[in-house]
Amino acid sequence: MTPRTLVMGVVNVTPDSFSDGGQWFEQDVAIAHGRHLLAQGADILDIGGESTRPGAERVSLAEELQRVVPVVEALAASGSVISVDTMRAEVAEAALEAGAEIINDVSGGLADPRMVPLVAAGGFRYVVSHWRGHADVMAERAGYGEVVGEVVAELRGRLEALVAAGADPARLIVDPGLGFAKNGADNWRLLAGLDALTALGHPVLIGASRKRFLGQLLEAAGAESLPVFRDRATAAVTALVAAHGVWGVRVHEVAGSVDAVRVAQALRSAQNEAISDGREGTP
């Protein structure tokens, strides 16, 4: 059977997340929320202690460590697969020591010069995201001639830099960075251009969950468009990209995306059976 898309559940240990407004900021609440996402079917928990929403100010290193490490320790102790959403090498190191297995760096190693050597030396999986600057400047850098080609080229450059430094290519995952220095149309074009992303030869992670371009779509249709009302649209994106065979989706509401992955997997299995039986396209 074709490997299914993994569902990565988001645990924001922040007071200012765009998606939940700090609902899971307290450590005990964040830990309980992580366990709830696992019960819903999450394969991976992605724990973050710094908001990267447009315009967000950076937190101190000490504050990010204080937010993230205890939550990682508690959830990793139960055997969960933990990813940590950080741009700082020191936070990544502490999280790995606490039991994390994946570092999800929205800057692709550009925000902290120590990150690339850490990735090169470590035996962990690393998400390389497309990035053009921190939250306070990324909106003004959302200018592209041809967004898919430029994002792929910039991701390829980051991959080449990591491999040249000694990183294991088999442990690198790519993320087009939806919403990071992209406008709504750019995000849709990137989703339509998944073939170009998968052609990079690495697993692909898609993080569309509750993002502004989904809110804009819903608002244009006269529907509720606040982040918490974007979960059904998020699940629809999950079904589409899972049918395409992406490695994983990063989502805030897990249950809907778990079902969406099941639907996509059933469809892909039926398509593969039709191809093997020589019945592709038969009415």
Write out the catalytic residue numbers.
211, 250
CA distance 159 to 145: 22
CA distance 144 to 261: 31
Strand order in the sheet with 82-85: 172-175, 125-129, 102-105, 82-85, 44-48, 6-12, 248-251, 205-206
Per-residue exposure over 35-68, b if at least 16 CB sit within 10 Å of its own CB, e if not? bebbeeebbbbbbbbbbbebebebbeeeebbebb
**Greatest distance between any 2 Cα atoms in the chain:** 62
**Tokens linked to 64:** 């990010």
CA distance 102 to 126: 6
- Cβ distance 106 to 129 under 8 Å? yes
CA distance 101 to 90: 15
